[in-house]
Each structure stands twice: as C-alpha cells, then as structure tokens.
C-alpha cells in the first residue's frame, strides 16, 4: 500500500470481490458484495431525499443530439465524452442519439412542458440511473465508461429557494459521508473553471484518500436560469407575471465507493464502517467438528439477527483462511466461538479496525456488540479526520506549496487572486488542482500564492483523483 497505492487499490477491489472488469473497455461489473454496499448507501440517501420531499422518477437513457445542443456551455462540456447510437435494428437513424452523460436537458425539456404556474413549483425530482461518459483512462468506481448514480433535478420559483435546495443537498451528502461512510469532508464552492458545465456555481464536498490525494465526493449545482432560458421554462407568478424557473441539479455516484476503499483501507484490505456494512459481524466457529460448536454458533446467529447484520461461515475452510477473507472484505467485527468458549460461556470479538481482541461473556453480548460497532464507526471517522488534519498544510508561497506536496501530501490551504491563469499555472507546475473555495475562510496571507497580487479567497488545493 505504501509502495504502490494504485496497485493496492486495483488488487483490493478485485480480491475483496467488489468489482470485476466488463468486456467493453472501461466498464465494470459490480459483484454481490460491492453491490450490497452500494445498496446500503443508496437506501440511506434515498431515505433522506424522500424525507426532504423529493420524488423518484425515471427519464430515458436516450437524448436526441439536437436537444443536447440547446444549452451552449453544457454541450461544450459534455460533447467530447458522449457515446452515440447511430443505428437501431437494421436501420441507420436520421439523427444520432446520445446515451445520457447526465440528464439536465431531458428534465429541462420536461419542465418546459409541465410547469405553467407558481402552483406547479417546486418540482423536486430525483432518479437512480446509469450514465455513460467516454473516458480515455478508467479505473473501477473512480472513473468508468458507465457508472451508477442518482441525479436530482429541481425547479423553483425563486433564486432563494433554488439556492437553499443546492445547500440542503450538499448537507445531505455531507451527512452521508460523516455519519455513515465515516470520513470528514471539506465543503465549499468550485472555482469557475472547475464548476459543472452549465451551472451558475457548483458546491462540492472533497474527501482525502490515504495517499493524500483528494476525491470529489458529491456535487450540488445551482443552475440559475440558464436552462430555463435555453428550454423556455417559464411560469406565471402570483402576480400573473411570467418568470423563468431557477434550477438545481446534484449527484452522487458509485465513485463514492472508491472513497470508501481509499480512505479506510489498509494492507489487509477494506474496512467497511459498520453503519454501511452489509455484514457487521461474521461468526467464525473454531474446531467446528467438535460436538455442539456449530449448534451454538447457529444459535448465536439466530439470537443476534434481530440486533445486527450477522452472518456465519461454517464452510470446511481453515479458520485462518476465513480470518484473512473477512479482514480483506473489511467486515467490522469477527465473532469466534469454540469448545473452550462454550465451556466458559463467552465469545471472542475481534475488531477489524484495530485488531483488538476481547472476551465477552455470553450474557453481555447483546449489550456489548452494538456498542462495539459504534466504537468501530467512531474510530474509523476519528482516524480519517486525524489523517485529514495532519496532512492539511498552509502555504504562503510556491516553494512552501511544492514542499508540502512533497513531504506531506494532502490538502494545501493557500490564497488565490481569483484569476484562472494562476489556477492553470499551479496545475501545470505541480499537478495540484483547486479543490474548492471553502465555506470556512481563513486569512492566510494577503497575496495570491501564484502571482503575488491581492488575494481574494482561500482555496483548498490538492492532487486529485
């Protein structure tokens, strides 16, 4: 892991049975274990979307080329990575059809036809779908030709409502990362050059991987009235005056699986936070051929089932093999039980995060296990927070900036004049990019780290996935 993080990543996603390569270059097969984790992430987000009044819908995979052209910035941003359908059955199509890279134009077209009065607003739609982006270099979860995501698309009567929605969805993404995936994020606004193609501005959460690189983990865009102008989405307000709608879009994708792996993983494999783990406790019987052991192990499974997500491996593989396997899969707690334990009316609990082992009397198991899982969850978060804090440095000149990248890869906080030229130069010189203009600003110095002119704002910089 320390020697070759990229290779470690590729090995772990394969060996932990998360994913496999599809036959078409850059596509992926999400295997049962990987999909079960994604389902837990999806269900938690979906719950929060519904709680905040959003409805799920399903819009088509296909977009006519002419429709994609309607919003100028949007098509410029996405055209280079679109997959085109040109033939249906045996016939050539009169107009090429785009496989959706994102669905703003489809929702724009729909809202234009379905929003007439302020009474029709807001429209709070979300969909869970696959999208295709024709990327040149790909890696499972992180960058793939096709990926799964949710895309929210909303329309509002006022700028205030739309901006509140944009913030609210960033809060939900933050909550998911912090409370479920167990890692902290830096919250802020993307610079103009890094914002979504077609947005007024983009809010982002950025997380930090074990190797010190950042990963954009969720974005929420205030689209302003750009799509409303392009698609003519207008409504009569309470004074019967015609107004354009204000829109947002926001998305989180299977890319977040990459963050989960790269924030918490170690040389033994994954560490899945308990709140998102498909299996929280794996029972591994010891000396299971001895009379009574398997019976007791299954009884325990049945007993604990109401309390935690528990599974049992009673296959005839060696316990050592099983230990390695479930450590690789990052199952938070292993429960061992053998003849001696039965005699002593106890079990052995082993935490994946620290490797700590404890003997727990059977009578205390039902109270200890949930508490232990909470400990693991909290410890994973604390470790990720520590790592982020330890590797976040400040720089007031380019020498410090480069030094920091070298000695302590992570986020660098540095001042910026607001000029795209400086952003480009920093990227060319160091391959670090602006990750966000954080909501929590600090006055690190008065001058831009790149050009020395007056600084406008503090930016988080990092090398990124």
Peptide bond into 367 cis (omega under 30): no
Question: Which C-beta is closer to a copy of itself: that of 64 or that of 418?
Answer: 64
Among positions 16, 37, 41, 67, the unique one binding a copy of itself when judged by CB under 8 A: 67
Q: How far is the CB of 24 from a copy of itself (least distance, A)?
A: 4
42 is a contact residue toward a copy of itself (CB under 8 A): no
Q: Are 57 and 152 in contact (CB under 8 A)?
A: no
Sign of CA dihedral 360, 362, 363, 369: positive
29 is a contact residue toward a copy of itself (CB under 8 A): yes
Q: Which stretch binds a copy of itself (CB under 8 A): 1-9, 87-95, 207-215, 294-302?
A: 87-95
Distance (Å, whole) CA 57 – CA 128: 8
Residue 460: count of CB within 10 angstroms of its CB: 23
Please, which of residues 105-124 interact with a copy of itself by CB under 8 A?
Answer: 106, 109-110, 114
Q: How far is the CB of 309 from a copy of itself (least distance, A)?
A: 13
305 is a contact residue toward a copy of itself (CB under 8 A): no
Q: How far is the CB of 270 from a copy of itself (least distance, A)?
A: 18
Coil/strand/helix, residue 253: strand
Question: Which C-beta is closer to a copy of itself: that of 94 or that of 407?
Answer: 94
Q: Are 68 and 82 in contact (CB under 8 A)?
A: yes
DSSP string, 109-168: HHHHHH--BGGG--EEEEEEEEEE---SS-BTTTB-SEEEEEEEEEEESSHHHHHHHHHH
Among positions 2, 6, 24, 306, the unique one binding a copy of itself when judged by CB under 8 A: 24
Please, which of residues 145-164 interact with a copy of itself by CB under 8 A?
Answer: 145-146, 148
84 is a contact residue toward a copy of itself (CB under 8 A): yes
Kind plus residue range of the DSSP H or E element containing 106: helix 104-114
Question: Which C-beta is closer to a copy of itself: that of 147 or that of 183?
Answer: 147
Please, which of residues 3-22 interact with a copy of itself by CB under 8 A?
Answer: 20, 22
**Residues 205, 45, 203, CA angle at the centre, nearest 5°?**
25
Distance (Å, whole) CA 73 – CA 110: 20
Distance (Å, whole) CA 78 – CA 61: 15
32 is a contact residue toward a copy of itself (CB under 8 A): yes
Burial of residue 178, with CB atoms counted within 10 A of its CB: 0-12 exposed, 13-18 middle, 19 or more buried: middle
Among positions 1, 61, 360, 396, the unique one binding a copy of itself when judged by CB under 8 A: 61
Question: Which C-beta is closer to a copy of itself: that of 13 or that of 208?
Answer: 13
Distance (Å, whole) CA 247 – CA 243: 13
Q: How far is the CB of 153 from a copy of itself (least distance, A)?
A: 12
Question: Which C-beta is closer to a copy of itself: that of 134 or that of 323?
Answer: 134
Q: How far is the CB of 125 from a copy of itself (least distance, A)?
A: 7
Please, which of residues 124-143 interact with a copy of itself by CB under 8 A?
Answer: 125, 129-130, 132, 134
Residues 6+ apart with CB under 8 A from 363: 345
Distance (Å, whole) CA 117 – CA 201: 26
Question: Which C-beta is closer to a copy of itself: that of 9 or that of 111?
Answer: 111
Question: Which C-beta is closer to a copy of itself: that of 26 or that of 188?
Answer: 26
User: Where does this chain bind a copy of itself (CB under 8 A)?
Assistant: 20, 22-24, 27-32, 35-36, 38-39, 55-64, 67, 79-90, 96-97, 99, 106, 109-110, 114, 125, 129-130, 132, 134, 145-146, 148
């Amino acid at each position: 892991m320390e020697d070759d993080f990229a290779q470690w990543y590729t090995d772990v996603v394969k060996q932990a049975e998360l994913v496999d390569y599809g036959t078409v270059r850059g596509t992926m097969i999400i295997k049962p274990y990987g999909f079960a984790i994604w389902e837990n992430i999806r269900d938690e987000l979906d719950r929060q979307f519904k709680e905040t009044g959003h409805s799920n819908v399903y819009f088509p995979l296909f977009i006519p080329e002419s429709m994609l052209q309607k919003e100028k910035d949007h098509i410029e941003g996405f055209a280079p990575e679109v997959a085109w359908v040109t033939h249906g059955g045996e016939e050539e199509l009169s107009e090429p059809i785009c496989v959706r890279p994102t669905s703003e134009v489809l929702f724009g077209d729909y809202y234009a036809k379905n929003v007439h009065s302020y009474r029709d607003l807001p429209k709070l739609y979300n969909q869970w779908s696959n999208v295709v982006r024709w990327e040149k270099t790909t890696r499972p979860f992180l960058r793939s030709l096709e990926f799964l995501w949710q895309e929210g698309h909303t329309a509002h009567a006022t700028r205030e409502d739309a901006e509140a929605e944009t913030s609210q969805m960033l809060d939900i993404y933050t909550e998911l990362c912090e409370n479920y995936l167990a890692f902290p994020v830096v919250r802020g606004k993307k610079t103009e050059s890094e914002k979504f193609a077609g947005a007024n501005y983009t809010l982002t959460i950025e997380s930090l991987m074990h190797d010190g690189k950042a990963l954009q983990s969720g974005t929420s865009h205030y689209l302003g009235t750009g799509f409303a102008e392009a698609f003519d989405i207008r409504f009569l307000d309470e004074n019967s005056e015609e107004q354009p709608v204000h829109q947002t879009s926001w998305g989180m994708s299977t890319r977040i699986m990459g963050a989960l792996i790269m924030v918490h993983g170690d040389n033994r494999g994954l560490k899945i936070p308990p709140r998102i783990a498909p299996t929280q406790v794996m029972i591994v019987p010891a000396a299971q051929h001895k009379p009574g052991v398997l019976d007791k192990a299954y009884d325990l499974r049945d007993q604990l089932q109401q309390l935690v997500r528990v599974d049992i491996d009673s296959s005839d593989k060696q316990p050592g093999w099983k230990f390695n396997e479930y450590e690789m899969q990052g199952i938070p707690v292993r429960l061992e039980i053998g003849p001696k334990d039965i005699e002593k009316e106890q079990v052995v609990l082993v935490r994946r995060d620290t490797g700590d082992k404890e003997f727990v009397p059977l009578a205390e198991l039902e109270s200890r296990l949930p508490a232990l899982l909470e400990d693991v969850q909290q410890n994973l978060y604390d470790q990720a927070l520590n790592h982020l804090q330890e590797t976040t440095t400040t720089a007031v000149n380019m020498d410090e900036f480069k030094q920091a990248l070298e000695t302590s890869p992570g986020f660098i906080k540095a001042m910026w004049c607001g000029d795209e030229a400086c952003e480009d130069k920093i990227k060319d010189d160091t391959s670090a990019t602006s990750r966000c203009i954080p909501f929590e600003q600090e006055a690190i110095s008065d001058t831009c780290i790149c050009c020395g002119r007056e600084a406008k704002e503090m930016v988080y910089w990092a090398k990124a996935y």
